[in-house]
Amino acid sequence: MDAEKPGLAERPIRRPARRAEASATPDAVPGLQPQRAADEDAARRRGPVAVATPHRFGRIAFAHPAEADFARLLEFYRIAWRYEPTSFPLRWDGERAVESFTPDFYLPEQDLYVELTTMKQSLITRKHRKLRRMKEVYPEITVVLLTRRDYYDLLARFGYAAVEITSLPEADIERILYSPVEIATRVAQLGAQISADYANRSLILVGLLKGVTFFLADLTREISRPLAIDFLSVAPWQDGQAERVQFIKDLDLAITGRHVLLIEDIVTTGLTLDFVVTRLQALRPASLEVCVLFDKHERRLVDLPVRYTGFAIPNEYVVGYGLDYKQLYRNLPFLCVLKPAVYARDHIAHLARFNESAS
Ligand code: IMP
Ligand code: MG
């Protein structure tokens, strides 16, 4: 499904023109001694050496964590890849190769080798020299070098390294469930579906504050119907109240006779939504449907008709893309689970320190 492969059209790796007759014996390399050139020519004719590595993802011992991240990124875009499949001899002593180069990845669909380096700029001169030599000896092979800067830019675009922006150390993240691109893709699908379902109708979107603001802002821009926006805010009652929750901000707009879509970031037990739906029904809208981005259906206590669901997620506490833990982490661009130690810290103190240093 193309819709499930977001960003393929703008994927950062250029597809090089496939060379029809890739020559196994390139023209003589200028500047080489005639005898050595002849030896090299013989060795070159035998071609690059296959390296025996298992190709199944998850079983590969990557030399560097950046390589594992890069592999996950390729997996996400369904780009076929192999890890270090080929060694290219670069220099020979007679027939014996004395220097060779093994690019980190090969992308068969792109016919492209990728070398990742997270070394400091000053240390990659040797790499550049090897790559220049690759071009001389194997002009038909395309290798791209991703420097540390390129690599982090790439990951940031897909949400993995963007944590630096939000002052959350990467080490605090247990697992990223959905990247910004995955969320945006799903939100666009929901918007398209809602636009189709409400053809020839206008609607009022009612968001439950505050976590929903991120989702609502993105969703409304994917809906091509005339719409109005309103917000509700609920909070748990203190002890001894009959109702489970109370409204702390009521609707501004009149919804009687209107098509209402109630938007929520995450539903767990369904108790909050059930209370709100009951209240909204009493105002006799023309129709009332529910749209939630994340659904922890395992924890559901109230049977609730949810018309639109973004993602079914496991029963774990999640933050990001509007969802908070003690009001923090809403601005993470992805949905993630934090390390248990993070939840044990005193976040109010952390926030106070934060404000002090900001002022
Ligand atoms: P429910 O009434 O049990 O469905 O609770 C839903 C509310 O709990 C949501 O509106 C969220 O504010 C909050 N919530 C539930 N699970 C999470 C989570 O994993 N992260 C952040 N907030 C959550
Ligand atoms: Mg909420």
Residue with tokens 């509007």: 322
The DSSP code sequence of 48-98 is PEEP----STTS---SSHHHHHHHHHHHHTT---EES-EEEEEEEETTEEE
Q: Which atom of ligand 1 is nearest to the CA of 270?
A: 4
User: Tens of pLDDT along 245-264?
Assistant: 788 899 999 999 999 999 99
- Average pLDDT on 9-35 reads 35
Contact between 55 and 71 (Cβ < 8 Å): no
| C-alpha to C-alpha distance for 354 and 337, rounded to whole angstroms | 22
> Is the minimum distance from the CB of 234 to ligand 1 under 6 angstroms?
no
- Residue 20 is classified by DSSP as T
Cβ–ligand 1 distance for 306 under 6 Å, the answer no
Identify the residue with better confidence: 14 or 283: 283
DSSP class of 224? -
The arrangement of strands across the sheet holding 96-101 comes to: 49-50, 86-93, 96-101
pLDDT at residue 158 tops 90 = no
Q: 323 in ligand 1 pocket by Cβ < 6 Å?
A: yes
Expressed in angstroms and rounded, the spacing between residue 348 Cα and the centre of ligand 2 is: 20
From the CA of 240, how far away is ligand 2's center (Å)?
23
Kindly tell me the sign of the dihedral angle through the C-alpha atoms of 329, 324, 321, 337.
positive
* b/e burial code for range 29-49 (CB count within 10 A of at least 16 → b): beeeeeeeeebbeebbeeebe
User: Pick from 293, 237, 225: which is nearest to 264 by CA?
Assistant: 293
CA of residue 300 relative to chain centroid, distance: 28
Which ligand has its closest atom nearest to the C-alpha of 275? 1
Contacts of 320-329 spanning 24+ positions with Cβ under 8 A: 321/178, 321/180, 321/183, 321/214, 321/215, 321/265, 321/293, 322/210, 322/211, 322/212, 322/213, 322/214, 322/215, 322/265, 323/211, 323/265, 323/266, 323/294, 324/210, 324/211, 326/351, 327/351, 329/166, 329/168
Nearest to 265 by CA among 212, 316, 302: 212
Tell me what pLDDT residue 346 has: 59
Report the distance separating Cα 288 and Cα 274, nearest Å. Answer: 12
pLDDT of residue 13: 34
Task: State the sign of the Cα–Cα–Cα–Cα dihedral 6, 9, 11, 12.
Answer: negative
Secondary structure class of 41 (helix, strand, coil): helix
**Dist. CA 111–CA 82, nearest whole Å:** 11
Share of the chain above pLDDT 70, in %: 72
- Residue 61: φ, ψ to 5°: -85, 95
What letter would DSSP give residue 325? B
Pocket residue to mutate for ligand 1, from 213, 247, 271, 272, most atoms within 8 A of Cβ: 272
Give the model's confidence band at 162: pLDDT under 50 very low, under 70 low, under 90 confident, else very high.
very low
Across the chain, what does the average pLDDT equal?
Answer: 79
Least confident of 20-29, 86-95, 145-154: 20-29
pTM: 0.62
Separation of alpha carbons 293 and 273, rounded Å:
13
Residue 352: Cβ within 10 Å count? 11
Q: What are phi and psi of 169, to 5 degrees?
A: -60, 140
Best substitution site from 178, 213, 266, 277 to test ligand 1's pocket, by max atoms within 8 Å of Cβ? 266
Reported confidence tier of residue 352, pLDDT bands at 50, 70, 90:
low
Task: Reply yes or no on whether the pLDDT at 115 is more than 60.
Answer: yes
Strand 287-295 with 308-312, pairing: parallel
| Ligand 1 atom, smallest distance to 299 CA | 3
Structure tokens that stand for 54 in this block: 């298992």
